[in-house]
Copies of this chain bind each other. A is one copy, B any other.
Amino acid sequence: MARLAGIELTPIGEVESPLTDRTSAPKQGDEGAPDAWLVFDPAVLEGLDGMRPGDRIIVLTWLDRAERDVLRVHPRDDLSVPKQGVFNTRSSDRPNPIGLHEVEVLSIEGNRLRVNNLEALDGTPIVDVKPALRRTEARKSRA
């Protein structure tokens, strides 16, 4: 595995959210997570060209409060369930704690995107945003 050298990510923005505490945050966005702002670095603003309210997007975050040296966890922190490999769970504790969040764009104000149902904590770095893809046909007509 010759290529296994370190890789440097550059955050492109950060989450602004009422969620500040990992223990009380929902585990997934569809479990009661609040609306939040995605605040982008002005240097990448051009990358948002063409985005519109109503679009469904996948936000990739760096879960900076996760533990990276964990390989087995109790799924959903439920101690009654036997431990499983982290790659078989959505635990934020994992070697590279990248969060995936599918949300809807509610509004766009300059470098700020308002989105719904985001379970990421306030201050979480954003590393990428992609359109959510549903079907090949929809993809071809859209982009």
Chain A contact residues, CB within 8 Å of chain B: 1, 3-14, 28, 30-31, 39, 41, 44, 46-51, 55, 57-58, 60, 62, 64, 71-72, 75-76, 81, 83-90, 94-96, 98, 100, 123, 125, 127-131, 133, 136, 139-140, 143
Contacts and interface: CB of A to CB of B under 8 A. Distances in A.
A46 B28 contact: no
Contact of A12 (B13, B55, B96): B96
Contacts of A127: 7, 96, 98
A125 B7 contact: yes
A140 B98 CA distance: 21
A62 B7 contact: yes
